[in-house]
């Protein structure tokens, strides 16, 4: 008989324990307690029937010698059928409870992550967050649906088997009571070593998962930089580290299981020899000896299930801490009790400072007023604070000093959804969401938009012919991150997506950088036809069309040092003049 030992898992932080696990499950997973209790009761019935089957086999063997075993055989068949039904029903109910609970937990975790503020994502890796949603919740599922019920059955089997063994023969039971503590003396210290190894494996596996997400997401960059060799080596090193820990793990288990099996076989051998002597002296029947041996196996085999529960609890409590770290992170305050912003007429930065870290300011004493309908170009060297400035307008962050007002009121007096609904934002790096062209164009839209309107906007940005060539039209799948669509097409789709919202403020972060001259001109003409009261802020890196902007803001080291049209800045702003001429000198 083989006894398998499961390696121990991650040992969590001391402040976390089983109580925290139960709190997480009851608060966020909402398990169906009624089905779970019925499943446990049926599992209890199945285990009792299993113990009863062994006892009936003893009676059957003893009665068989006297020719009166027919009735017992019928009763045995009934108990076997009951045991089978109870086992099947219990397994289904417990597994269903686990699936339902983990689905609820995953949904809660998913929804919470969606509502987390931008700064949270600035400091947490994508691969780790995805691992929490998938891997850690799977650990909780395994505990609820399998480990817990197996351990309950194991404890019932151990207690029931030991009780019946004592009733059958006390002296034979002493042998088992000697072997089990000896096995525990081996299992406990080995389990602690396996726990440390398993913790290291989990850590390295999480690192591999995170690295894989980055590698797959940046596959074009890897190939463009001919970095396959370096990435292969990085992956191999990571896999080898996991392999090294795994080899240490299987070495210990490879030694542990045979040692325990030998001890178990030795105990059974002693029981058979000593039991045979008792049978010969009529102190024990053959049926009782067979039953005793079966109970000995039924008692020792579940030890791995009980050990597995302890292991699973350690692993799951560790997963609980990681999940709690996410669920306890405050969601973005959308200020839903605030006023609804219906249009953006003016924006006032009143001596605003901001830094992602308190001692490292990115924006410094920004003093700026923007009026409805203005067309503004925002320029400056990389790192000067341009994107950070517009991020404050999107309410991704709040100023660390100074006031940011909209329409004469503090920006934080408005609900965040209403602020963002009034802003159309197009970034330089456009990633489309999974789904169709229509899904992407209507992303976040709260109103129905007719296909004719979408097609008209697509025509204005030069995508009419491309759309006509697609057999599925607006229902064409854009592929993962929009990779079925060219960079220029993605850029124009993003512009249309922003305009569909009919915003009162349009922010373009070098939105035409991926376009050729012809399509860039089309987009420029489209922007020129937009309503006169639509405010536009364009972050500009290429200055070939800078003269077209009535107002230009020049940023240096987090400060706005220039504010005027092209001619006035050329005449009065030395840094702008050098910046403009330097770009043209280099083409």
Question: Degrees (nearest 5) of the Cα angle 86, 89, 91?
Answer: 105
Q: Which single residue is written with the structure tokens 């999107």? A: 394
Strand, coil or helix: 28? helix
Asked if 28 contacts 100 with a C-beta cutoff of 8 angstroms, the reply is no
User: Which residue, among 52, 134, 26, has the nearest Cα to 298 in the 3D structure?
Assistant: 52
Q: Indicate if 357 belongs to the active site.
A: no
Asked if 347 contacts 542 with a C-beta cutoff of 8 angstroms, the reply is no
Residue 85 contacts by C-beta under 8 Å, 6 or more apart in sequence?
none
Q: How far apart are CA 18 and CA 436, in angstroms?
A: 45
Q: Which single residue is written with the structure tokens 């405050």? A: 330
Residues 235-272 as b or e (16 or more Cβ within 10 Å = b) = eeebeebbeebbebbeebbeebeeebeebbeebbeebe
Strands of 274-408, DSSP E:
346-354, 363-371, 375-380, 401-406
Six token digits for residue 435:
């789904």
Q: How far apart are CA 396 and CA 416, in angstroms?
A: 9
What is 165-181 written as a DSSP string?
HHHH-HHHHHHHHHHHH
Q: Compute, in degrees rounded to 10, the torsion defined by CA atoms 194, 199, 204, 205.
A: 90
- Could you tell me which residues are beta bridge partners of residue 350? 403
Residue 438 contacts by C-beta under 8 Å, 6 or more apart in sequence?
451, 454, 474, 475
Sheet of 409-410: strands edge to edge?
A: 363-371, 346-354, 401-406, 409-410
Q: How far apart are CA 81 and CA 368, in angstroms?
A: 81
DSSP state of 476: -
First CA to last CA distance, the chain: 80
Task: With residue 563 as reference, give the H or E element that holds it.
Answer: strand 559-564
Q: Which of 510, 547, 567, 574 is catalytic?
A: 510
Strand, coil or helix: 448? coil
User: Which residue, among 371, 366, 3, 409, has the nearest Cα to 180 in the 3D structure?
Assistant: 3
Strand, coil or helix: 425? strand
Strand, coil or helix: 16? coil
**Active-site residue list:** 510
């Amino acid at each position: 008989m083989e006894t398998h030992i499961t390696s121990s898992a991650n040992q969590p932080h001391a402040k976390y324990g089983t109580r925290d696990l139960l709190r997480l499950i009851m608060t966020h997973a909402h398990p169906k307690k009624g089905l779970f209790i019925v499943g446990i009761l049926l599992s209890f019935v199945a285990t009792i029937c299993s113990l009863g089957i062994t006892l009936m086999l003893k009676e059957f063997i003893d009665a068989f010698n006297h020719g009166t075993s027919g009735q017992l055989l019928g009763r045995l068949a009934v108990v076997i059928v009951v045991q089978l039904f109870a086992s099947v029903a219990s397994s289904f109910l417990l597994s269903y409870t686990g699936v339902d609970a983990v689905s609820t937990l995953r949904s809660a975790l998913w929804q919470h992550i969606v509502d987390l503020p931008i700064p949270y994502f600035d400091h947490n890796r994508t691969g780790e967050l995805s691992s929490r949603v998938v891997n850690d919740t799977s650990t909780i599922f395994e505990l609820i649906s399998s480990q817990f019920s197996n351990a309950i059955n194991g404890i019932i089997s151990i207690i029931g088997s030991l009780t019946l063994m004592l009733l059958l023969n006390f002296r034979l039971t002493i042998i088992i009571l000697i072997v089990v503590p000896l096995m525990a003396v081996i299992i406990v210290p080995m389990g602690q070593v396996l726990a440390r190894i398993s913790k290291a494996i989990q850590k390295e596996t999480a690192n591999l998962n995170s690295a894989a997400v980055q590698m797959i997401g940046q596959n074009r960059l890897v190939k463009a930089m001919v970095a396959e060799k370096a990435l292969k080596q990085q992956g191999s090193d990571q896999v080898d580290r996991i392999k090294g820990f795994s080899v240490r793990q299987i070495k210990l288990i490879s030694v542990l299981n045979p040692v325990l099996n030998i001890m178990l076989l030795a105990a059974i051998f002693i029981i058979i020899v000593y039991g045979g002597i008792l049978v010969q002296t009529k102190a024990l029947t053959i049926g009782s000896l067979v039953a005793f041996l079966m109970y000995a196996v039924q008692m020792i085999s579940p030890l791995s299930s009980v050990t597995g529960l302890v292991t699973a609890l350690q692993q799951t409590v560790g997963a609980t801490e990681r999940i709690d770290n996410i669920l306890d992170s405050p969601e973005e305050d959308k200020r839903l009790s605030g006023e609804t912003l219906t249009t953006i007429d003016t924006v006032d930065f009143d001596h605003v400072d901001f830094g992602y870290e308190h001692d490292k300011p990115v924006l410094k004493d920004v003093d700026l007023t923007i009026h409805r309908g203005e067309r503004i170009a925002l320029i400056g060297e990389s790192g000067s604070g341009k994107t950070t400035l517009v991020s404050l307008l999107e309410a991704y962050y709040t100023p660390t000093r100074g006031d940011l007002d909209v329409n004469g009121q503090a920006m934080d007096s408005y609900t965040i959804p209403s602020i963002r609904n009034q802003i159309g934002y197009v970034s330089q790096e456009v990633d489309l969401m999974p789904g169709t062209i229509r899904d992407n164009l209507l992303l976040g839209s709260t109103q129905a938009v007719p296909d004719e309107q979408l097609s008209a906007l697509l025509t204005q940005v030069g995508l009419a012919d491309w759309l006509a060539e697609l057999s599925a039209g607006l229902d064409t799948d854009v592929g993962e991150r929009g990779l079925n669509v060219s960079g220029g097409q993605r850029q124009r789709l993003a512009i249309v997506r922003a305009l569909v919202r009919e915003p009162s403020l349009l922010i373009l972060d070098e939105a035409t950088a991926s376009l050729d001259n012809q399509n860039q001109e089309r987009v420029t003409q489209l922007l020129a036809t937009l309503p006169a009261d639509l405010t536009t802020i364009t972050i500009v890196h290429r200055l070939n069309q800078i003269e077209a902007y009535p107002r230009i803001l020049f940023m240096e080291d987090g400060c706005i040092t220039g504010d005027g049209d092209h001619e006035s800045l050329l005449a009065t702003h030395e840094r702008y003049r050098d910046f403009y001429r330097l770009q043209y000198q280099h083409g």
